[in-house]
Every structure is written in structure tokens, then in C-alpha cells.
């Protein structure tokens, strides 16, 4: 996992086998996923689930994350395998870790969940954080990046405590340094959608960019950057940025 890099379009099986189409080729549907992730501090023992009211005891800090995705490969393989090769070619994270303690001033109550989660995922004072998040896209024809996503961690349905409790409910043992990702963080508005899949409705509604270009998916030469921060009273807590430039497959 890396904070800034060139991202080569992965190859994979992108069409069902037939007489007219090749089985393998570079993805034509490269996507980003705006996510956050948290790092484990103290571990738990194998076979001992972490109860939700103790989850925060195991969280060290947070980073921004881009879970690069090849959507055409994903479409082919997710039944019956689930996403696999569509996700395993690159994951990028921001350059430094913001500790749990540094985010405490930005703690917010978790919004009501409907349907209500099962008892092992229910905490009386569960919470989220007020973290502003953006994704910026710059093509080779653009002089400056253009904001394509504005969202907030508060839009995430599941809390971090719920995610950790569910991950360990079967007895999985976490180790110091393990990284758990949030999944795509999308909100209720069009601009708050956290990936191209949602922003363009799987390519049906392309993005219109200031350069006059359109995008259904990321293309060679595009640079995608994710930023995040919390605004305090006269100060800001930032995560840096995680950036990647798409390059053509060799």
C-alpha cells in the first residue's frame, strides 16, 4: 500500500468467453473508491471476539484510502467468487496516521440505523467523526484538478466499532498494524458519491469536466487525489493526500 504512485491498469478476464471476444485484457473500467481505514493497536487473542463496547481500545489511528477497482473484471468474477482480481492490484493510503486521540474533538453521534443492527453490533453511545473528504481528478489536458466528490465520514452507515466487532465475531485475531478499510463513503447527494461507478451510474451519465472532456471511468494519464481534514476552532487536523496517476499497461 502506497501514498502516491503510478497505477498501471490491471489485466484480467473482462468478458465471458465466446468466439468473438478475448478472454483477457487491460481493464476498460478503472475506478477509485474514496475510503478511510483504521490501524489496529493492541491485538486480541485468537478465538476471542472484541465486544463492540471495547472496540475503540484496539484502534490506533486513521488514514485515507483509495481502493482502486477494475469494475469490468469485478462484474465477471464477483459471482461466485466475489471481488478478487478486480481489487488486488493496488491499494493507496495517505502518508501519515492521525491518531484516535487527535480525532476525539470531532466525535459525533452515530445517526439512527434502519434497520436496527443485531444486538452484538449495538452500542448505546456509538459514534462517528466529522471528517470532510474530497476526491480531485486532473486529466492531462487540465491545468488544475477538479473536485468530483465531496463527502464526509458521517455518511458511512456502519460505525468503525461495528466494523471491528463484526470482523472479530467469529474469533479472528487482529495484530498490531492490521489495516481495516471502511468501504466506499458516499452520501445522499450526487456530488457525495465516492466512486465513478456511482458518480456516472456505471458509465450511463458521464462526468463533464472543465476541459470539455467527459469521463465514464478513469483513463490513462488521469491523476486521482483524495484529501481529508477536520475543522476545529482556529485549527485543522489533516490527513495529507493520497494520489495516483493512471498509466497505460505494458
Report residue 244 as a C-alpha cell: 495516483
Residue 230 or 16, more confident: 230
pLDDT digits over 118-146, tens only? 999 999 899 999 999 999 999 999 999 99
Number of structural domains, the chain?
1
Report residue 30 as a C-alpha cell: 478503472
The SS3 call for residue 191 is helix
Instruction: Say if residue 4's pLDDT is above 80.
Output: no
* CA distance linking residue 225 with residue 145, whole number of Å: 9
How does residue 18 score in pLDDT terms, banded at 50, 70 and 90? Answer: low
Going by C-alpha positions, the residue among 16, 11, 41 that lies closest to residue 29 is 11
The CATH number that applies at residue 228 is 3.90.850.10
| Lowest pLDDT segment from 17-21, 104-108, 166-170, 194-198 | 17-21
Residue 147 belongs to domain spanning: 4-247
- What is the separation, in whole angstroms, between the first and last Cα of the chain? 21
Cα 99 to Cα 43, 56, 157, 238: the distances in Å are 17, 12, 22, 11
Residue 6 confidence (pLDDT) = 78
pLDDT digits over 42-94, tens only? 999 999 999 999 999 999 999 999 999 999 988 888 887 888 888 989 999 99
Mean pLDDT across the chain, nearest whole number?
92
pLDDT digits over 169-202, tens only? 999 999 999 999 999 999 999 999 999 999 999 9
Amino acid at each position: 500500500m502506497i501514498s502516491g504512485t503510478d497505477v498501471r491498469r490491471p489485466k484480467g478476464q473482462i468478458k465471458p468467453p465466446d468466439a468473438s471476444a478475448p478472454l483477457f485484457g487491460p481493464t476498460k473500467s478503472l475506478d477509485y473508491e474514496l475510503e478511510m481505514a483504521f490501524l489496529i493497536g493492541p491485538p486480541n487473542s485468537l478465538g476471542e471476539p472484541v465486544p463492540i463496547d471495547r472496540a475503540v481500545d484496539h484502534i490506533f489511528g486513521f488514514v485515507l484510502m483509495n481502493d482502486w477497482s477494475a469494475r469490468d473484471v469485478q462484474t465477471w468474477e464477483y459471482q461466485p467468487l466475489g471481488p478478487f482480481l478486480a481489487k488486488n492490484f493496488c491499494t493507496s493510503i495517505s502518508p501519515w496516521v492521525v491518531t484516535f486521540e487527535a480525532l476525539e474533538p470531532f466525535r459525533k453521534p452515530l445517526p439512527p440505523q434502519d434497520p436496527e443492527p443485531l444486538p452484538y453490533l449495538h452500542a448505546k453511545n456509538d459514534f462517528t467523526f466529522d471528517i470532510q473528504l474530497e476526491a480531485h481528478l486532473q486529466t492531462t489536458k487540465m491545468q488544475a484538478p477538479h473536485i468530483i466528490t465531496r463527502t464526509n465520514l458521517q455518511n458511512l452507515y456502519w460505525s468503525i466499532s461495528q466494523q471491528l466487532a463484526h470482523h472479530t465475531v467469529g474469533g479472528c485475531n487482529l495484530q498490531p498494524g492490521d489495516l481495516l478499510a471502511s468501504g466506499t463513503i458516499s452520501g445522499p447527494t450526487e456530488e457525495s458519491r465516492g466512486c465513478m461507478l456511482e458518480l456516472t451510474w456505471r458509465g450511463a451519465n458521464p462526468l463533464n469536466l472543465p476541459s470539455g472532456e467527459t469521463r465514464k471511468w478513469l483513463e490513462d494519464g488521469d491523476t486521482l487525489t483524495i484529501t481529508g481534514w477536520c475543522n476545529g476552532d482556529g485549527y485543522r487536523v489533516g490527513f495529507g493526500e493520497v494520489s495516483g496517476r493512471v498509466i497505460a499497461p505494458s
